[in-house]
Amino acid sequence: MKKIILALFLIPALYAQAQVAENPFEQYGPFQTKTLESFAEATKSADDVYKLKSENEDLSKDIQKIERLSHLQVLLLQNNKLNALPKEIGALSSLLYFQSAQNALQQLPAEINQWRNLLVLKLFQTSLDSLPSEIAALQSMHTLEIQSNEADTFRLSAALSKLPQLKSLTVYNTNLMGFPRAVTNCLHLKEVYLVSCKIKKISSMISNLQALQILVLEGNSIEVLPPALFEMTQLKSLSLKGNLLKSAPEALAQLKNLEILDLRGNDIPSAEIEILRALMPECKVLF
């Protein structure tokens, strides 16, 4: 869990309000319902189980029994020696929140298309190369977070564009091999965090995201900012910290609603930063 917590804190305090660590067992599911911490205990009293936190339990032989937990609304699996989720997990049709950490999942089963009520999906330290197309069925999902995926490359599914409620997307320490085209078709996104994803260029289609208010592209290898970025006048926070920028175009001043611009960790002349600060007096420019 230490690695996961560290990853979360690497996203700067500047955006802490959007990334505050939530307690899903308080936020989701029936109020004041008991959270079980034993998988075996949960499957024995399945009709009364709404929240389950299974940490450091070997579930490799028993995970199929999860279908008994049909009322489950909040599920956290951590370090359970799982490299796959069984098709029986589709029986969790009441699920609101799902998180897997330190399980080397190589794929998600098609049966997740039965998670019609899911709001939040978080996958930490997996080995996925993509998300299944069936993710398009998760019509209620508003938050997707992927951290420290260990596959050589990871592809974000085009099916994400079919999720009308998706407002927040975080991908951290995952090899995206470029700016994911799928993201530019998710027109309802308000927050996008693509941190340490080996991105070299920002897609010219970024301007499609007219609802976007927070864009964090830290720790990548971006050298040039595309003109399309300057069209995103609805942006309130933009972080390009830790990239390879050598210039700060005056066109950034076109982002009239920008409140925070983070350019730290780039080789930009100080004189250009001062010009930006003069052009954007209402924006806090960090350098």
Q: How far apart are CA 121 and CA 100, in angstroms?
A: 9
Please identify every stretch of the chain with a pLDDT value under 70, giving residue numbers as ranges: 1-21
H helices present in the chain, as ranges: 2-10, 16-19, 24-27, 39-44, 270-279
Cα 107 from chain centroid (whole Å): 17
What is the structure's pLDDT at 22?
A: 74
What is the structure's pLDDT at 32?
A: 87
What is the structure's pLDDT at 21?
A: 61
Q: Which residues, at least 6 apart from 69, have a Cβ–Cβ distance to it below 8 Å? A: 42, 43, 46, 49, 52, 75, 91, 92
Global pTM value: 0.91
- What's phi and psi for 102, nearest 5 deg? 60, 30
- What's phi and psi for 88, nearest 5 deg? -65, -15
What is the structure's pLDDT at 11?
A: 46
